[in-house]
Amino acid sequence: MSFLQSLTRRLRPGPDIDDSRWVVLDVESSGLDPKRDRLLAIAAIAVTTGGHRARVVPGDSFEVVLRQDVSIADKGNILLHGIGVGAQRKGVPPVAALTAFERFIGSSPLIAFHAAFDQTLILRAFDTVLGYRPANPWLDLEPLAAVLNPKVRARSLDEWMAQMNIRCAVRHQAAADTLATAELLQKLWPAAQRDMGGKVTFAAASRLAAQRRWLT
């Protein structure tokens, strides 16, 4: 089998992007290396857009802890995300957890802050557990925020939260971080409308975010 055939088999074809519902997400992991460490949990929340405004929808949300065959008991890591050995053992079987996540995201684009980390962990898990990966497109919110606010010297989520006056109930826990990221997207929306001629689309947001490498 050629590389192209293998890639085609692993990428599950998706429907057209649902530009009226974006899914903001965050993950918890067993460590800081997305190419080696394990996906422990996913939290996600929908943001309805309609192009003209962004509305965070708490009732349209998702959260799951994936069951681990071998519990990951690094004390420092557990203190950070709060997912202890007991919670890991009682988690949802990975097949069921990832299938439920795929149903939740549907055809929505996926948004995360420093998205490469989340994307690598999630796609690795899909490859390992289900043998394919969803074809939903991803957007990193950090470069988009930087392009929309060129005078702001912020890089981390904490720095952007401080700039935008966003409070997070419990930092470094997936559900709370997801809500904070969704609120940041909401705060960025007026600037995005300004730069996109009044209506925000995922494609236009992706093009703006891609400008970051030229600006830097």
pLDDT digits (tens, 9 = 90+) for 107-136: 999 999 999 999 999 999 999 999 999 999
What's the confidence (pLDDT) of residue 9? 47
Q: How far apart are CA 32 and CA 25, in angstroms?
A: 17
Paired with 22 in beta bridges are: 47
Contact status, residue 105 vs residue 122, Cβ threshold 8 Å: no
DSSP state, 54? -
Neighbouring C-beta atoms of residue 159, cutoff 10 Å: 13
Q: Is 35 left (phi over 0), alpha (psi -120 to 50) or beta?
A: alpha
- The mean pLDDT of 186-193, rounded to a whole number, is 95
Superfamily of domain 17-215 in the CATH hierarchy:
Ribonuclease H-like superfamily/Ribonuclease H (3.30.420.10)
- Is residue 40 within 8 Å of residue 68, measured between CB atoms? yes
Each residue of 53-109: pLDDT tens digit? 899 999 999 999 999 876 555 555 554 555 767 677 789 999 999 999 999 999 999
For the chain, the structural domain boundaries read 17-215
pLDDT of residue 59: 96
Higher pLDDT, 168 or 104: 104
Distances (CA, A) of 11 to 5, 127, 131, 141: 10, 9, 9, 24
Average pLDDT score over residue span 154-166: 94
Q: Residue holding tokens 């996109």?
A: 196
By percentage, how much of the chain surpasses pLDDT 70? 83
